[in-house]
Amino acid sequence: MKKRAIFTALIASLSSLASVAGQTEMQINTYNQQLENVAMVAQLTGEMAQRIVNAASAAALKDNLAVSITVVDASGQTLAVLRDHRAGVHTIRASYKKAYTANSQKRETAVIAKGINEGTIPADLRYLDENILILDGGVPIYINDTVVGAVGVGGAHGSEDVRVAKAGIKALWLAQ
C-alpha cells in the first residue's frame, strides 16, 4: 500500500512538473512573439554627446576658436553643451538652435541655407519654429541611417563652425 501511495505521489509530481514546463515554454514563446513586435531604435546617449563635445572643443581650441558647442538628442533636447570662456554670450543659444534645426530638418544647416538662397527650400522655413536658425554650423548625427540628434557650433565663421561640429561627430565613430 505504501508503495502504491508513493507511486501515485510520484506520478502526480511528474504530471505537475510537465504542466509547469509546458506553461514555461508557452510563456517563452509568447515573450519571443512580443519581441518581434518591438522596434529597436538607435539612441544618442549622454556619454556619446560628451565625447562629441570634448572632441569638437579640442578641434576649436587647436585653431584658437572661441565657440559654444551643443549636442541635442532626436527630440531636440540638450544632452551636452560647452561654451569656451572667450565665446560670446549669444553663442550658447545659437549653437542650440543650429543643433535643433539640423536635427529637426535632418540635414546640415549649411545645406538648408544654400537651398533657401537658391530658392529650392522655402524661406518661410525659418518661421516654422522659434528654435529654427538658418546659419552654418548645425550637423545631424546618424546611426544606421537614422538621425539620432545633432551638433550645433556657434561663435566662429560658419565654415569653421561646421568643421568643428564634424570633428566632434568623427571622434564619436573613432571611439567605437
| Same domain (yes/no): 32, 55 | no
Q: For the chain, what percentages of helix, strand and coil (3-state, to nearest 5) are there?
A: 55, 15, 30
Both 26 and 63 in one domain: the answer is: no
Q: Tell me, yes or no, whether 104 and 139 share the same domain.
A: yes
Q: How many domains does the chain have?
A: 2
pLDDT value for 60: 99
| pLDDT attached to residue 103 | 98
Q: What is the pLDDT of residue 94?
A: 99
User: 164: domain range?
Assistant: 46-174
Q: Are residues 64 and 31 in the same domain?
A: no
Assess whether 23 and 50 both reside in one domain: no
Cell of 152: 550645433
The CATH number of whichever domain residue 57 belongs to comes to 3.30.450.150
Q: Rounded CA gap, 135 and 98, in Å?
A: 7
| Same-domain check for residues 154 and 79 | yes
Q: Which amino acid is at 90?
A: H
Per-residue confidence in pLDDT tens, the chain, 176 aa: 666 666 565 566 656 655 655 666 666 666 666 667 777 888 999 999 999 999 999 999 999 999 999 999 999 999 999 999 999 999 999 999 999 999 999 999 999 999 999 999 999 999 999 999 999 999 999 999 999 999 999 999 999 999 999 999 999 887 66
Q: What's the predicted TM-score (pTM) here?
A: 0.79
